[in-house]
Structure 1
Amino acid sequence: MSTNTDRSPAPFLLPVSLADRETAEGWRGWRLSRRQFASAPRIDLAAFRAMSPRQRALHELHREATHSNLPLLETPMSAAVARLMRSRLRRGAMKHKASTRPGLMIDGGGCQSKTETAFEVAAAFEDAWLDMHQQLNPDSVTGVRDLHAPVAYVQTPVTAKPKSTCKAVLDFFGADHRGLQCEKFFNSTGDGAWRWAVSLRRLGSGFIRLGLGCRLLPRRMTSTRCRLRLMSWRTRCG
């Protein structure tokens, strides 16, 4: 015989869709909900046997969901990476000079939580930055899109050139770049990269994380011009 407890909703939510962290809206949703999942409680055999069949099924399902959403455990290496990344983020965000902000390349084997470690540090930085500025963009400009995105995540394109990389960043913000040509965007003086960097600052973007950033290595560049443009972009955008 079922009871009211049997008919209560499950104590956890199954994902309707995966969070798309490669868009501003998807990143914000993941950042705000990244710690909402509650792991299945540990119970003894007597408590499990006292459950109704439905309660047992829900508990087993909750345990499986817990195994699929294990929390990120800290290791000596992840702690060192997180400490260095936090330092770079804070120093870069508080730097008033127009010089280059130092970056960080995280390398290693697969399934070592490089991506999730960087995501957690970046999300914590954005939480603190937004709280410090009361969720407002301190550098907002009249007439500019009403969007405050201190952090942007972009998968580096396979053809990692300035044009494709900048378009990938524009995709994160949902900007329309149809018909954008490299020659018009990056002219010989680098003004295009400068305008692009200024636009990011107006959105409050202080940190851009590039997934698979090794694709940006100079040896993947096909011409000296592309290498020079990339260096100009890195210098101006930090």
Structure 2
Amino acid sequence: MKQLCANLKANLTPDSTTTYLKTLESNLNPKLNSEVLVFPNMASLKANNFKNIKLGSQDAYPARNGAFTGAIGSEVLESLDIKTLLLGHSEIRERGDKLIAKKFSFFKDLGFKIVFCIGEDSSVLDKKTFLSTQLKECDLDYENLVIAYEPIWAIGSGKSATLEDIEKTYSMLSSLGAKKILYGGSVNESNAKDICALTDGLLIGGFSLDALKFASLVNKLDSIKF
């Protein structure tokens, strides 16, 4: 089963997110074999009561609640029946690796599905060492863990990693102990099929903002026997 994820980042209002989710769900094949995950911005999180879509949070603080300005805790997520979390995205990694590891441990103990982002920028020479260091922040034996490999230089650039590089990186991450691996970084309708054939799914940013196009892509990929 492929996992196809939409990271909406800081886009869409609460109202337009509602429209997006309704449009997406109504245009998805009702008998999907793939798992579709959508990560709205925190102000636009909804009750997770869709049939073909699972909602997740783009980040969270490792606490139930408390005096953590600008954060969201497990109490809010669980009240919405949200049990999926995106962690470690490069756009917020500057908050610190120790905090990422703490978040992983906290939400692992609560049984959350965790999509854990790793990736290198163009200046990194030893990719394996760099990525293996990032993987130390999580427990690779955790059954609800999904690794999302996103080369930082590819995010929003319109230029994806080559298929050869994606295949080699998938093999390398598998050798390090990763069991489910997604690819993200300038994924679109022209390259999604080939990338999906080499991985366990996709983490899609900008292209996923159009609900109709994303639904069409999901349906297309879901119909293929990889």
TM norm structure 1? 0.26
Structure in which a larger fraction of residues adopt strand: 2
Structure in which a larger fraction of residues adopt helix: 1
Larger radius of gyration: 1
TM norm structure 2? 0.27
